[in-house]
Structure 1
Amino acid sequence: MRLTFDEDVEKFRAEFVAFLHEHLPAEAEAAERSRSSAHVPEWARRWQRLLFDEGWLLPGNPPEFGGRNASLLQQYVHLEELARRRIYHSFNPQGLGIIAASLLSFGTEEQKRKWAAPILRAEITAALGMSEPGAGSDLASLKTRATLQGDRFVVNGQKVWTSGAHDADVLLTFVRTDPDAPKHKGISVLLIPTDTPGVTRRPFGSIVSPEDLDFNEVFFSDVEVPAENLVGPLNDGWRVATGSLGHERTLLWLNFAERLEDLVRDMNPQGPLDRDRYATLVMDAQALRLLGSAALARAARGEQDVAALSVLKLLGSEAVQGAAERALESSGPQGLEHPATTAPFAHMNLDDFSAGRFERYARSFAGTIAGGTSEIQRSIIAERVLGLPRG
């Protein structure tokens, strides 16, 4: 199957490709790397602002928020062209894809002006405060408490795995505001500037490297937050949470497909068993493309299919993990080496295409966790596709 598009979509693609040819930063200019998912080097801030100003940052947005009211298929070819070139449009992906998107969906006009637009223009960066030591995949078990006192909330508690928090300017933080309500009903969402007294951020290393500081513990001790920083209605944070993750999942399968195909190209199968595994991964990549294209066509017609997104998330994340494992195995001891050089413009992306094989394998586990774990996706598929009762 070959995916084709109408003339208006291909014209949109050609215009974007011409923009990239003219404005893509030179490799020497873009030498400085990001140190976390909320640290944006100055050259990357300029690049993101240019994309915003020209309507190429998030084309589906209105012009005042970095877009051009593009259709879903136009948004798809935009992401496809970025992926083909291993280019990322922001080094603060959660800021663009989750936090600013959530503010545009649930925030007030003032919040959109004060927070969403500066995040999109790379004037400030943002991190997502969801997970806690006792509430990882089960967000509804969170215990961080926010008590409304007059015109402000007082926040106490802890978050963990908060990517980029030590470099972020603001946290989109999920808190419990009604401890007596059912656990899904008593959650609210607050924007908390990281320089607020009582906020403590402690970055820690990962399995990839002790120096790879992106994850954080974040502590809140009597942190006072203006009531105007409440996102969405009080105690309606669960709806904001599901909307936030929905923004992340819509075209996530394309990212998985590009990573999978890159890993497959990186393999050098030796022997019958290795070739058999290689062939399986090639088929996984094709299946992901075909299923994703079908889901894209349904979405373009306005059809809602949450179960299809779960199938794509599960297949894509686990296929990438399997491909990374096979690439590591096939390379033997050399798989533990870090590459001395990177591919052209690989520095534009989030290190996925320039890391060593072990790093890529270790990072592949994030795909089966972020945006909804594989276990959660299987539960959704069991209920909505197979019609099984809730466990």
Structure 2
Amino acid sequence: MQLNFDPEVEEFRAEFAAFLGENLPDEVAAAADRPISSAEVPPWAREWQRLLFDNGWLLPGNPPEFGGRNAGILQQYVHLQELSYRRIYPSFNPQGLGIIAASLLSFGTEEQKTRWARRILRAEITAALGMSEPGAGSDLAGLRTRAVRDGDEFVVNGQKVWTSGAHDADVLLTFVRTDPDAPKHKGISVLLIPTDSPGLTRRPFASICGPHDLDFNEVFFENVRVPAENLVGPLNGGWGVANGSLGHERTLLWLSFADRLQELLEDFRPKTVLDRDSYATLAMDNQALRLLGSAALAREARGEQDVASLSVLKLLGSEAVQRAADSALYAKGIDGLDHPGMTAPFNPLNNDNMVSSWFERYVRSFAGTIAGGTSEIQRNIVAERVLGLPR
């Protein structure tokens, strides 16, 4: 068992740390304690993402032409570690970076990679993910948004919901039904749909985190015409693209949960015996998550495929963060309900309105057990693929 990294990995870390020391903008550092949002990406955030891209530090595992340097999985891990130590976001369009562009590099044509993925990675355009619908959330295969081929175009009709950042996005990676007669997993395709297409309407709505948190959207499609060249992956092969898209989201997702647990550990001040018991549980959850994650990372570095372990980590991490936020809010008492973000819009240069309240941390913790596959879905995967239980 080796509990440290080889010298070349540590050299990679040191090079990136030196880059951050020389180039980190004040605005990015100031935004460290706010929940990330893909809405209304400011110019300085685009410039920061472009700087990372141009120097190969945006997604180091990518080839240089797509913002990386062909780094291995352990180098990618320490890159994320350095970002997390400083609470730095590489992008304020996280779905565009981690899901949409990554999916296009995996499944897109060369033209789509150049026209769409590269521009998303360079922050020239932003992207959102059109998956969930009013009747198809965790069960993506139940989606009803239709796309009918008409010559060189698809005609799209239907609705999406919970589409984060759609009102500020330039393009949607949209999952549609193209064969209504096929088994529901086999009749799905994926289209890139520009948000300025006639017949496409975006309607943002607030969440419990406050009236200024307008990241969620309803998206309506009424006879929206999409060029057939915008089909991503094979026709009726969208289920494979969906699994790949969520796989990109989950690969090192456990690290973000571990970082959130660490932040809660640093900020949580136990007062009573019950508080101290909760704090100890939080510390053990944090350690267990990091050890299990390190084991999964080592397997991937050896080239071993263990998709089920990602579900274990996602389940453990998301629910541990939720329990931790609940315990911390309870320990804080009535003061924990103070929520300045409810009355003032976020200004990353105003320190008085920068730090998330305990209430906001708590309500946001529920998103982790939903996004990227719900806890219920993860338990099904663990039951079938790890424990060998019947469907």
**Both structures adopt the same fold (TM-score exceeding 0.5):** yes
- Name which of structure 1's ranges 296-305 and 2-11 shifts more when overlaid on structure 2: 2-11
Q: Distance in 2 between matches of 1:191 and 1:271?
A: 53
Query: What per-residue deviation string (whole Å, max 9, x for no partner) do you get for residues 280-308 of structure 1?
Result: 11000000010000000001001111111
Partner of 2:15: 15
Shift of 1:271: 1.9
Q: Distance in 1 between matches of 2:35 and 2:9?
A: 33
Partner of 2:344: none
Partner of 2:155: 154
Q: Distance in 2 between matches of 1:82 and 1:192?
A: 32
**5 Å matches for 1:12-91?**
12-27=12-27, 36-91=37-92
Q: Distance in 2 between matches of 1:253 and 1:10?
A: 21
Contact 1:3 1:293 in 2 (8 A): no
Contact 2:206 2:215 in 1 (8 A): yes
Gaps of 5+ in 1: 341-345
Gaps of 5+ in 2: 342-346
Query: What per-residue deviation string (whole Å, max 9, x for no partner) do you get for residues 320-342 of structure 1?
Result: 001111111111111122369xx
**5 Å matches for 1:124-163?**
124-163=125-164
TM-aligned CA distance change 1:347 to 1:324, over 3 Å: farther
Q: Distance in 1 between matches of 2:204 and 2:262?
A: 32
TM-aligned CA distance change 1:281 to 1:156, over 3 Å: same
Q: Secondary structure at the match of 1:217?
A: strand
One-letter amino acid matched to 1:48? Q
Contact 1:264 1:327 in 2 (8 A): no
Shift of 1:31: 7.1
Q: Distance in 2 between matches of 1:248 and 1:28?
A: 22
One-letter amino acid matched to 1:19? F
Q: Distance in 2 between matches of 1:4 and 1:141?
A: 45
Shift of 1:39: 2.6
Partner of 1:306: 307
Shift of 1:34: 9.5
Query: What per-residue deviation string (whole Å, max 9, x for no partner) do you get for residues 88-119 of structure 1?
Result: 10000000000000000000000000000000
One-letter amino acid matched to 1:194? T
Shift of 1:384: 1.2
Q: Secondary structure at the match of 2:191?
A: strand
One-letter amino acid matched to 1:17? A
Contact 2:28 2:89 in 1 (8 A): no
Shift of 1:3: 3.3
Contact 2:251 2:310 in 1 (8 A): yes
Q: Distance in 1 between matches of 2:267 and 2:3?
A: 25
Q: Secondary structure at the match of 2:359?
A: helix
Q: Distance in 1 between matches of 2:3 and 2:168?
A: 40
Q: RMSD across aligned C-alpha pairs, in angstroms?
A: 2.0
Shift of 1:274: 1.5
Partner of 2:256: 255
TM-aligned CA distance change 1:35 to 1:383, over 3 Å: closer
- Name which of structure 1's ranges 25-34 and 12-21 shifts more when overlaid on structure 2: 25-34
Contact 2:28 2:45 in 1 (8 A): no
Q: Distance in 1 between matches of 2:142 and 2:281?
A: 39
Q: Distance in 2 between matches of 1:80 and 1:365?
A: 24
Partner of 1:343: none
Q: Secondary structure at the match of 1:197?
A: coil
Shift of 1:212: 1.1
Contact 1:40 1:92 in 2 (8 A): yes
Partner of 1:281: 282
Query: What per-residue deviation string (whole Å, max 9, x for no partner) do you get for residues 317-362 of structure 1?
Result: 000001111111111111122369xxxxx959xxxx9310000100
- Name which of structure 1's ranges 169-178 and 256-265 shifts more when overlaid on structure 2: 256-265
TM-aligned CA distance change 1:28 to 1:36, over 3 Å: closer
Q: Distance in 2 between matches of 1:319 and 1:104?
A: 32
Q: Distance in 1 between matches of 2:285 and 2:361?
A: 18
Q: Distance in 1 between matches of 2:178 and 2:243?
A: 18
TM-score, with structure 2 as normaliser: 0.94
Q: Distance in 1 between matches of 2:317 and 2:35?
A: 26
One-letter amino acid matched to 2:333? G
Contact 1:103 1:111 in 2 (8 A): yes
Q: Distance in 1 between matches of 2:142 and 2:88?
A: 37
Partner of 1:330: 331
**5 Å matches for 1:1-391?**
3-27=3-27, 36-338=37-339, 354-390=355-391
Contact 2:29 2:88 in 1 (8 A): no
Query: What per-residue deviation string (whole Å, max 9, x for no partner) do you get for residues 238-289 of structure 1?
Result: 0000000000000000000000111122111122221111101100000001
Contact 1:98 1:248 in 2 (8 A): yes
Shift of 1:210: 2.5
Q: Distance in 2 between matches of 1:339 and 1:200?
A: 31
Contact 1:269 1:330 in 2 (8 A): yes
Contact 2:39 2:214 in 1 (8 A): no
**Number of equivalent positions:** 381
One-letter amino acid matched to 1:366? A
The percent of aligned pairs where both chains have the same amino acid is: 78
TM-aligned CA distance change 1:282 to 1:28, over 3 Å: closer
Shift of 1:35: 9.2
Shift of 1:71: 0.3
Q: Distance in 2 between matches of 1:38 and 1:118?
A: 17
Contact 1:38 1:125 in 2 (8 A): no
